[in-house]
Chain A
Amino acid sequence: MKKSYQSLEVNSRYNMKQVIHRKLSANFLQLSLIFLLAFSTSLFAQEGDPVEGKKLFRANCASCHKLDGKMTGPALRNVETRLVEEGLDRAWIYAWVKNSSGVIKSGDAYANKIYNEYKGAAMTAFPQFSNTDIDNILAYTAEVKKPVVVETPKGVPVQSGNSNKLILGALALLFALLAIALFLVNKTLRRFADDKGVALAEKTKRTPIWKVFIQNQFLVLVSTIILMLASAYFVYGFFMQVGVNQGYEPVQPIHFSHRIHAGENGVDCKYCHSSARVSKHSGIPSLNVCMNCHKTISNVVDETQAKGLSEYGVNYNSEIEKLYKASGWNVEEQDYTETPSPVKWIQIHKLPDFAYFNHSQHVVVGGIECQTCHGPIEEMEIVSQHAPLTMGWCINCHRETNVKVKDNAYYTKIHEQLSKKYGVENLTAAQMGGLECGKCHY
């Protein structure tokens, strides 16, 4: 569980890194100039390297601080400016970062104010930071917030779509005009012919094809049989589909993207669906599990947001808002102060009550991947039912899948006996008794 959690962190950071400001280098000089002008007090202090600072910030500070917006600790954008306003210099910052509790104990007024404001959550001390490191971080925090360069989603593709339609429309019009033209030409020619008294060859009257068809009794018989068979086939097909909800893709109260969580971020399925390991239910994660990560992730990176808006028409940030609302999380106060309102998810995979299915049997004992039954979840923006979940589908799998007997003392004896009986080394679930009615129906 822990491992996957770490991987999530790493990946989200990696995502954030992707926010590359293209005009960064171009603006760099300009920015430095602004700094110089704006904060003349810090002129004599060493200037830091914002690129280095960013790295350090990501590695050390980001778990508690954001540039914009409160988290466990205060927002750090232009922190130095704010501190200067409080009359605190960079030396104070050095001291604070390296040993914040020391500063608090010394009775420093501002330090205590901050300490109390954040409910006595002391900042981790970073004695390993050199002053240069801190300078670098400060330089990073002093960067001006970039206006997000969101690629306008309604750019090229929309235009191309329009032009396609336009071409098609134009073509249709053209054909219509052509047809009218032909019709008119024909009409005019006929009129000319009439006028000139040219006699047009009269068509000899033939028996209509349907009459021929009806008169041929054999044909009627054969086609009736074919028709009946065909309709029986479709009726059968229709009835066999009743209650099979393959492809069911309901709109959920919160747009939760498995593509982002399980796919891009690589969160292990069982991190959220933890009861799949021990229970018959895989379990819909409770909101506190979501909040393990989303306490700190209140916004997706801009690119993801842009992709969501353009490709899926969904605003991920407002979906996270919904989560906060449901769990009663107050972003401002960074605490659960609101009334929670449970999320009413719509169940997608539903077995009938008379069928007993146990996740832990399949996931833990059988070692079956979630995707075997649920499909490529990590690619699904909205989850849909991948498998038909019919009994035939279950049975097939039981016939084909080998039981994972290795290193399981429970199976040692029965595996030995059954292997001898069937003369095979690998036993399928069916050979183990997995086709018996009472194994799933009781």
Chain B
Amino acid sequence: MSSNKKYWKSVEELKDSSIVETLKQNEFVQEIPTDEFLGDKETLESSSTSRRDFLKYVGFSTAAASLAACEGPVVKSIPYVVQPDRIIPGVANYYATTIANGFDFASVLVKTREGRPIKIENNTLAATNGHANARVNASVLDLYDNKRVQGPKKGGNAITWSDFDAETTQALNGLKDSGKQIVLLTQTYASPSTSKLVAQFSQKYGNVNHVVYDAVSESAALDAYQAIYGERGLANYDFEKAMTIVSVGADFLGDWQGGGFDAGYSKMRIPTNGKMSRHIQFESNMSLSGANADKRVPLTPSQQKQALAKLHSLLVGGSVSTDLPANIEAAVQKAASQLIKAGSNGVLVTGLQDVNAQTVALEINKKLGSKAFDPKTPIKTRQGNNKAVQTLISDMKSGKVGAIIMSGVNPMYTLPNAKDFAEGLKNTSLSVAFTSKEDETAIVVQYIAAAPHYLESWGDVQFKKGHYALMQPTIRPLFDTRQFQDALLKWNGNDVALNDYIKTTWSDSILNGGSYNKALHDGVFVNESKSILTTEEVEQDETPAGNAARALAASAKGRGVELTLYSKVGMGDGQQANNPWLQEFPDPITRTSWDNYLTVSKSDAKAWGIVNENEATGALNGSYVTLTVKGLESLTVPVIIQPGQAKGSVGLAFGYGRSSESIKPEMQTGKNAFKLYNDFNTVQNVTIELATGMHEFACVQLQNTLMGRGDIIKETTLEVFNTKDKHYWNEVPMVSLNHQETPVTSPDVDLWDSFDRSIGHHFNLSIDLNACTGCGACVIACHAENNVPVVGKEEIRRSRDLHWLRIDRYYSSEDTFAQDDAKKEGFSGLFGDNGSLGGFGELEDPADNPQVAFQPVMCQHCNHAPCETVCPVAATVHGRQGQNHMAYNRCVGTRYCANNCPYKVRRFNWFLYNGNDEFDYHMNNDLGRMVINPDVTVRSRGVMEKCSMCIQKTQKTILDAKRDGRVIKDGEFQTACSAACSNGAMNFGDINDKDSKVAKLLKDDRMYHLLESVGTKPNVQYHTKVRNIKEA
């Protein structure tokens, strides 16, 4: 049937306008300017190159090019002239050394290949600080940063070290008797030999003032400890000895007091003999510690102070007046009663930057007689003094400072009053910065003294009293650099080499007759006598009980919104901001990378008109707000609505907003929170105003709740775990076979026939959800080991991240996950109060104070893998040892496997990420590529990649055993993630070795497989999370 309807595209067409007619006739409205590139007709005709000639040339050059391409490239191979004894090409060497960059202090093993460090591993010989966190794992990439300053500079121009020496020595000598100060402004070195060098420097030049400055200060805790114990240090805690842990605002699984407490904590989180520790957390931001706590109470910083004061009065005595809300008051009461019950098995810690708060904590622990509290071996890795820094700035402004020599600090970035500092710098006659980057401070000083990376340096550290570690170079310095300590030696007129100086220092005062070579080999040395001798002598009487608590309660006056500044697991204090691994590392809590942001509670966000929304692609966008701290300039930051954030409080992370030339434009992300770090207090009163625009986040997890799918993360309570049968709390899914309920693990309901896997090795990776704190060290270790490329913020927004190993974080929708499950089970019908239609929508929404669970997910290496069956080219096949192999050279990139994977662990190379200017990260320059592991293929564009269960490592272990002709012992097999996990959450091994740890873990009651109902038979085990929720 024909229609008379007339369709028109525009009003003009309807009216039969002439424009439409013209446009119809003329496809290109504008004349294509061919003349511009062809020239006029005459020149074209007079040209000797005719069209035929042109085609001939094109044809010839194409043919020539393709012929030339058939020839293989000539590869040159250049051996050493004299091969060093220790280096065998193709064999890795390991060196024990120590990172001490002022923020992270750890004893590590460095894996080097052909003389270049490629990976950081844990030093298992170290009694303390032997665990590398995510930042330390990533620190190897900082060595190969092409933005490093490559030699000494003066006013932006390169100079020689001899000129530098001559000029600086002259300037220093000139200041000797001028009455002006010579200031050494340094990071915390905690180094015995550096202290000695500084003392000698002071002796030589007189009027030397050594100011130690921590970017993120622990000064209050240091002051409190010093007041009671007479020594500047931080109280040490061993959470392995604590059964009841109460934390008031202390993120002790993060960077609180230098970090490194998680290994001990995790040990007590694994239920053994029916017992595990109980952890109660009072905090405002959702921190790692809060996420792992059995009970988490969100409250603002000022309420935290009151709660702490109240706890003190309940535990130690005395009375304080508080005005806490009833529910919090009750929680505090319960916490106190549990601590009393625990007695010496209890411990209380606080992260409040307030001397009174810290004093109160020390008093409580003392009163409890806490076994976990160890005042005898104070932590030495934070020594900064707020007062000294403030005095220094005023001294500089008033012209009392003649010379300032900085090392390991970046005050122009980390000081809120950087302007005052810059002003003061102008009054000095000599300013030197030892730095590895031309950072914010380096560009305003006279001399940039190029400093080496710690992997190129000598040094020593005293982590804790009596616990020493040595730093040794693992590579010859890449650039013309010099250590601060070397320079001190020069200025002191000492010709001794730094390593000899350290050796002498150690032989004289540390080793106590022990072998220096052994200490250097082990990387660590413990001098027991040191720790016991001094502290007991200097222990003093405490201040009259209750004074501090009353002062604390009195100071707890919250005005307006309270901002808590914190440091992220990925970025720390921001000195590693140019590290693409860390930029792309998703924050364990928000799962957002490449940014910092204000965390705001849901109800506050609603009140202030803040929204978080997802684009059609799923990418997360968020509103901006302007933050103002009285007296400081305001900061406009994007907002993420954070479940668990205490109402009336907000959080913002340090370490972002770097802006100097030393940071690549891609990595100048976020906003500088140090600008609000007034008076070195992490808690600030702010006013918040909604700003215009929406910020684009790079968030890797879009689904935040489990939606009641309890089989992804199985969890139970300690009570149920102890009393009920495992089938009750760790149920195996049932399927129907001939109308009979059959467990899914039964071979009868399997689509596939199983292979015989009893011969040879059969690898399994076990992940204990109780021990995993979500710290993310494994994620970076996996990056380093497997050459995982960095894809950048834009690609992350498109969900094209390439992490082989991710740590999923789930929030409960109700108050607990158990209630989520119950709610889901209770759905009946589509509509109504229990209707599933609205119910699932509600389940998508995390609670105000949700339970949190972390789950590391990598390729599950299914014995009956869905990916393998759909690959059209058999690029992914199963090995006999349990690993799911991925042959990159065979893959044609159909991505069927990724679509068929129930775990979503397969990653696709959408682009060529190495040697591509579009992805200008470490793989795009020769220096950065030095970190690449030569045993693992660098993948090209268009292929799938995924966790290989570190087959290069298992193969190497096997080969070593074959060569030695021996049987492999349990523990020899490791993956990068299991080796990096210091919490004991990840264990790897051979289940055909019946005595191995993983074989036992496989039989453990808590063991389950991810999405067991799918019947994929994975080789990755998970262990049910047990929560100790009983309020004693």
Chain A residue with Cβ nearest B964: A410
Q: Known: A353-B938, A354-B889. Is A288-B81 also a contact (CB below 8 A)? A: yes
In the complex, chain A residues whose CB is within 8 Å of the CB of B886 = 438, 442
In the complex, chain A residues whose CB is within 8 Å of the CB of B756 = 421
Kindly supply a per-residue 1/0 record for chain B positions 850-881, scoring 1 wherever the CB is within 8 Å of any chain A CB and 0 otherwise. Answer: 00000000000000000000000001010111
Select which of B76, B89, B760, B966 is within 8 A of A344 by beta carbon. B76
- The answer to the question of A287 belonging to the interface, with a C-beta cut-off of 8 Å to chain B, is yes
Given pairs A286-B83, A442-B937, A442-B948, 11 additional interface contacts (CB within 8 A): A242-B70, A275-B89, A279-B88, A289-B83, A345-B78, A354-B937, A407-B965, A410-B961, A433-B880, A436-B879, A442-B951
- The answer to the question of B1 belonging to the interface, with a C-beta cut-off of 8 Å to chain A, is no
Kindly supply a per-residue 1/0 record for chain B positions 776-798, scoring 1 wherever the CB is within 8 Å of any chain A CB and 0 otherwise. Answer: 00000000000000000000000
Bound Cα distance from A281 to B961, whole angstroms: 18
- The answer to the question of A247 belonging to the interface, with a C-beta cut-off of 8 Å to chain B, is no
Binding site for A on B (CB under 8 A): 70, 72, 74-83, 88-91, 756, 758-760, 875, 877, 879-881, 883, 885-890, 935-938, 948, 951-952, 955, 958-959, 961-968
- The answer to the question of A418 belonging to the interface, with a C-beta cut-off of 8 Å to chain B, is yes
* Nearest 5 pairs of A and B residues by beta carbon: A438-B885, A279-B90, A286-B83, A286-B80, A281-B90
Select which of A280, A346, A408, A441 is within 8 A of B90 by beta carbon. A280
Q: Which DSSP category, helix, strand, loop or mixed, fits chain A's interface?
A: loop
Bound Cα distance from A343 to B77, whole angstroms: 8
Which A266-322 residues have a C-beta within 8 angstroms of B?
Answer: 275, 278-281, 283-289
Bound Cα distance from A411 to B962, whole angstroms: 8
B955 near A437: Cβ-Cβ < 8 Å: no
- The answer to the question of A364 belonging to the interface, with a C-beta cut-off of 8 Å to chain B, is yes
In the complex, chain B residues whose CB is within 8 Å of the CB of A289 = 83
In the complex, chain A residues whose CB is within 8 Å of the CB of B91 = 275, 278-279
- The answer to the question of A179 belonging to the interface, with a C-beta cut-off of 8 Å to chain B, is no
Select which of B78, B936, B965, B968 is within 8 A of A442 by beta carbon. B936
Bound Cα distance from A364 to B962, whole angstroms: 9
Chain A residue with Cβ nearest B884: A438
- The answer to the question of A409 belonging to the interface, with a C-beta cut-off of 8 Å to chain B, is yes
Report the minimal beta-carbon distance from B358 to chain A, rounded to whole angstroms. 51
Select which of B81, B885, B951 is within 8 A of A328 by beta carbon. B81
Report the minimal beta-carbon distance from B972 to chain A, rounded to whole angstroms. 12
Bound Cα distance from A242 to B71, whole angstroms: 9
In the complex, chain B residues whose CB is within 8 Å of the CB of A355 = 889
- The answer to the question of A340 belonging to the interface, with a C-beta cut-off of 8 Å to chain B, is yes
B888 near A342: Cβ-Cβ < 8 Å: no
- The answer to the question of A99 belonging to the interface, with a C-beta cut-off of 8 Å to chain B, is no
Select which of A275, A285, A345, A437 is within 8 A of B890 by beta carbon. A437
Bound Cα distance from A439 to B959, whole angstroms: 12
Bound Cα distance from A242 to B70, whole angstroms: 7
B77 near A346: Cβ-Cβ < 8 Å: yes
Bound Cα distance from A345 to B77, whole angstroms: 5
Chain A residue with Cβ nearest B75: A347
Kindly supply a per-residue 1/0 record for chain A positions 322-352, scoring 1 wherever the CB is within 8 Å of any chain B CB and 0 otherwise. Answer: 0000111000000000001011111100101
Chain B residue with Cβ nearest A285: B79
In the complex, chain B residues whose CB is within 8 Å of the CB of A248 = 72
- The answer to the question of A358 belonging to the interface, with a C-beta cut-off of 8 Å to chain B, is yes
A437 near B962: Cβ-Cβ < 8 Å: no
Bound Cα distance from A421 to B880, whole angstroms: 14
- The answer to the question of A245 belonging to the interface, with a C-beta cut-off of 8 Å to chain B, is yes
In the complex, chain B residues whose CB is within 8 Å of the CB of A409 = 965-967
A436 near B877: Cβ-Cβ < 8 Å: yes
Provide a sorted-by-A list of 28 A–B residue pairs whose CB atoms are within 8 angstroms.
A243-B72, A275-B90, A281-B89, A288-B82, A340-B82, A345-B78, A346-B75, A355-B889, A356-B952, A360-B963, A408-B962, A409-B965, A410-B962, A413-B967, A417-B758, A417-B760, A437-B885, A438-B877, A438-B879, A438-B886, A439-B879, A441-B888, A442-B885, A442-B886, A442-B937, A442-B948, A442-B951, A442-B955
Bound Cα distance from A436 to B885, whole angstroms: 8
A284 near B88: Cβ-Cβ < 8 Å: no
Bound Cα distance from A275 to B879, whole angstroms: 29
Chain A residue with Cβ nearest B92: A279
Chain B residue with Cβ nearest A414: B760
Bound Cα distance from A114 to B290, whole angstroms: 82
Report the minimal beta-carbon distance from B893 to chain A, rounded to whole angstroms. 15
Chain A residue with Cβ nearest B966: A409
B887 near A342: Cβ-Cβ < 8 Å: no
A438 near B76: Cβ-Cβ < 8 Å: no
Select which of B79, B80, B875 is within 8 A of A345 by beta carbon. B79
B82 near A344: Cβ-Cβ < 8 Å: no
In the complex, chain B residues whose CB is within 8 Å of the CB of A417 = 758-760
B951 near A438: Cβ-Cβ < 8 Å: yes
In the complex, chain B residues whose CB is within 8 Å of the CB of A346 = 74-77
Bound Cα distance from A352 to B889, whole angstroms: 10
B88 near A364: Cβ-Cβ < 8 Å: no
Which A193-252 residues have a C-beta within 8 angstroms of B?
Answer: 242-243, 245, 248, 250
- The answer to the question of A365 belonging to the interface, with a C-beta cut-off of 8 Å to chain B, is yes
- The answer to the question of A132 belonging to the interface, with a C-beta cut-off of 8 Å to chain B, is no
A326 near B88: Cβ-Cβ < 8 Å: no
Bound Cα distance from A148 to B883, whole angstroms: 67
Chain A residue with Cβ nearest B91: A279
A358 near B88: Cβ-Cβ < 8 Å: no
Bound Cα distance from A222 to B936, whole angstroms: 52
In the complex, chain B residues whose CB is within 8 Å of the CB of A15 = none
- The answer to the question of A390 belonging to the interface, with a C-beta cut-off of 8 Å to chain B, is no
B959 near A286: Cβ-Cβ < 8 Å: no
Q: Known: A280-B90, A354-B937, A414-B759. Is A347-B77 also a contact (CB below 8 A)? A: yes
Report the minimal beta-carbon distance from A401 to chain B, rounded to whole angstroms. 15
Report the minimal beta-carbon distance from A331 to chain B, rounded to whole angstroms. 17
Bound Cα distance from A347 to B77, whole angstroms: 6
- The answer to the question of A12 belonging to the interface, with a C-beta cut-off of 8 Å to chain B, is no
Report the minimal beta-carbon distance from A387 to chain B, rounded to whole angstroms. 16
A437 near B88: Cβ-Cβ < 8 Å: no
Select which of A243, A326, A364 is within 8 A of B81 by beta carbon. A326
In the complex, chain B residues whose CB is within 8 Å of the CB of A279 = 88-91
Kindly supply a per-residue 1/0 record for chain A positions 354-378, scoring 1 wherever the CB is within 8 Å of any chain B CB and 0 otherwise. Answer: 1110101100110000000000000
A437 near B887: Cβ-Cβ < 8 Å: yes
Bound Cα distance from A275 to B967, whole angstroms: 24
A287 near B79: Cβ-Cβ < 8 Å: yes
A441 near B885: Cβ-Cβ < 8 Å: yes
Bound Cα distance from A414 to B19, whole angstroms: 85
Report the minimal beta-carbon distance from B756 to chain A, rounded to whole angstroms. 8
Q: Known: A437-B877, A441-B888, A442-B948. Is A283-B967 also a contact (CB below 8 A)? A: no
Report the minimal beta-carbon distance from A273 to chain B, rounded to whole angstroms. 11
Report the minimal beta-carbon distance from B946 to chain A, rounded to whole angstroms. 11
Report the minimal beta-carbon distance from B914 to chain A, rounded to whole angstroms. 11
In the complex, chain A residues whose CB is within 8 Å of the CB of B937 = 353-354, 441-442
Bound Cα distance from A70 to B795, whole angstroms: 68
In the complex, chain A residues whose CB is within 8 Å of the CB of B958 = 410
* A364, A412, A442: most-surrounded residue (chain B CB, <10 A): A442
Chain A residue with Cβ nearest B74: A346
In the complex, chain A residues whose CB is within 8 Å of the CB of B890 = 437, 441
A361 near B962: Cβ-Cβ < 8 Å: yes
Q: Known: A345-B77, A356-B952. Is A287-B879 also a contact (CB below 8 A)? A: no
Chain A residue with Cβ nearest B73: A350
Chain A residue with Cβ nearest B943: A354
Chain A residue with Cβ nearest B70: A242
Report the minimal beta-carbon distance from A255 to chain B, rounded to whole angstroms. 16
A410 near B965: Cβ-Cβ < 8 Å: yes
Report the minimal beta-carbon distance from A344 to chain B, rounded to whole angstroms. 5
Q: Known: A417-B759, A437-B887, A437-B890. Is A342-B80 also a contact (CB below 8 A)? A: yes
In the complex, chain A residues whose CB is within 8 Å of the CB of B935 = 280, 356, 442
Bound Cα distance from A125 to B959, whole angstroms: 49
In the complex, chain B residues whose CB is within 8 Å of the CB of A340 = 81-82
In the complex, chain A residues whose CB is within 8 Å of the CB of B72 = 243, 245, 248
Which A97-125 residues have a C-beta within 8 angstroms of B?
Answer: none
Chain B residue with Cβ nearest A250: B74
Bound Cα distance from A416 to B81, whole angstroms: 47
